[in-house]
């Protein structure tokens, strides 16, 4: 686990779908790659869990930090973990 990879993604709560995603280390560079993918969408509100790197990168934008508004994305994370675990079990057997 010395080379951990993170999944950064943007979730559209109206359409209930992922609109962009990036895999990488938990760094400003990876966050920058995700934000460049989102630039054509003209995102108005950014809702995050309060990771300090978000604050420095989202200065000057409407940034809401709250677990209340990240509930749907946490649910999506749970579903993703369940599906990945299922795939892991099938491939190992």
Query: What pLDDT shows up at residue 20?
Result: 94
How much is the average pLDDT of 18-37?
92
CB 12 within 8 A of CB 19: yes
Task: Write down the mean pLDDT value for the chain.
Answer: 83
| Candidate ranges 3-7, 25-29, 79-83; pick with highest mean pLDDT | 25-29
- Domain ranges within the chain, ordered by starting residue: 6-92
How much is the average pLDDT of 21-32?
91
Best CA proximity match to 7, nearest among 71, 52, 73, 60: 73
How much is the average pLDDT of 69-84?
83
How does pLDDT run across 28-71, given as a tens digit for each residue?
999 999 999 999 988 888 888 888 888 888 887 888 888 777 78
* Strand-strand pairing, 62-65 and 45-48: parallel
Query: What pLDDT shows up at residue 56?
Result: 84
Query: What pLDDT shows up at residue 11?
Result: 87
Best CA proximity match to 41, nearest among 12, 76, 67, 13: 12
């Amino acid at each position: 686990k010395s080379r951990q990879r993170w999944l950064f993604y943007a979730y559209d709560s109206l359409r209930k779908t992922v609109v962009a995603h990036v895999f990488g280390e938990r760094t400003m560079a990876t966050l920058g790659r995700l934000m460049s993918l989102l630039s054509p969408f003209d995102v108005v509100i950014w809702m995050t869990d309060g990771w300090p790197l978000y604050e420095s990168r989202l200065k000057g934008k409407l940034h809401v930090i709250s677990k209340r508004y990240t509930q749907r994305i946490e649910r999506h994370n749970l579903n993703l973990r369940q599906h990945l675990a299922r795939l892991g079990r099938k491939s190992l057997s």
